[in-house]
Structure 1
Amino acid sequence: MTRAATQSKSQAQEDSDCKYQTVIVAYLKKQNRPYNATDIFNNLKGSIAKASVIKSLATTADQKLILSKTYGKQIIYAPIQNHETSADIEDMVELEAALETALKDLALHREILKGLNNELAILTKSPTTHDMQVAVESFTQKNQILDDRLQVLSSGQQLVPPKQIQMIKSQYIAYRQEWKYRYKMFKNAWTQIYDGSRNEEQKLMSIIGIETDADVGVKYEE
């Protein structure tokens, strides 16, 4: 690259830097409030590269065209107005920086509060200690009843008393005798009513609505 080309490129860069500085100083005076470099870059909608914004702010601050003050890990920049004293501007910068820090702390505490509220909601929905104690006691009692029942079944102990078994057998014999008697009565009556084939007999029973023991799987004779 020739010397003339290098000088031309350098001059173009200086012109751009000067233009950026003018835009940034004008912006700060128009807004009349402190900003950090990131806020200025965002508010200018990316019309100036962030690196150029940072460089221009540092240069104009060195030239005493704007005021800069380091607060914590960031640098705050503010316009210089003729009717304001240096002390007024510094106070404003400090207040702005303090406000920004407070807002960050507020956002952090809101996140912490959100997490605590979520934990509280979970605890609120969970059963209380008293409820859990009642549930455990109930389950323990039910388990004991089932365990006692299992012990009886495992021992082979006769669960139904002999007297009750005998009563059940007697009832079965009586019911079976009654069934045989009624079945015989039906067969006699049906024989007098119907004297056709077996197929026709079943059709007629179906039409009349007669349901035999065999139809429902009952076999008392066995």
Structure 2
Amino acid sequence: MSNLPPLNKLPRNLTYIELKMSKSKDLNASAAVLDYLNKQNRPYSAIDICNNLHKEFGKTAIVKACESLAESGQIKEKAYGKQKVYVADQSQFPEVDDAEVKTMDSKIVELTGKLQSTLEEVRQLESDLKMFSSCLSTEEAKIQLQETTAQCAHYKKKLAHLKDGGNVVSPEEKDKVYKNRETYVKAWKKRKRMTNDILNAILEGYPKPKKQLYEDIGIETDEDCSVKPPDI
């Protein structure tokens, strides 16, 4: 505690423990700033450093750390008008010749191309995953197949019965079928119109084509299924 001021020289609201904690926090901020700048090896303002460290330390602590490190020569400070930027001391890094820089630039271009290719592959896989996620599972498909097969058998039997001169549909049942058909067709057209209105509204501010929007949100149109609402 020899490097701390006498107790009677401290502000009334500041104790030795608080002062030691403050000094420890300042040291931690300096170490974090120095480590960050050395790893990134590019210029940053104190505000950028504070934000990039996810505001682990306050703005004041970061500014003090930058100024202290610059004074001690551990980092370099450059002023542009009122703006100051800080960068790692370049003397600590080995020199790189032009040939090595060109090699590194070529490697960056190569890796950037691989990154773009990988991102495109990821987008395609995500699209495939979305499509498969909306499909029936094998067990669900088996159950649906059984139900559909049973329905087909039932309707084939009913059709055969009608062809053989069996009981025909009564006028009441016929009217009910036509009425239901009209209701469903109207609902189909109404929902189609409402959906198109919503999608057109989205497209006014959407930066991509309509086809891409439909793919992104998983829209399947009547045209995709080669169907259209029948006339009433």
Structure having the higher Rg:
1
Normalising to structure 2: TM-score of the pair? Answer: 0.33
Could you say which structure has the higher helix fraction? 1
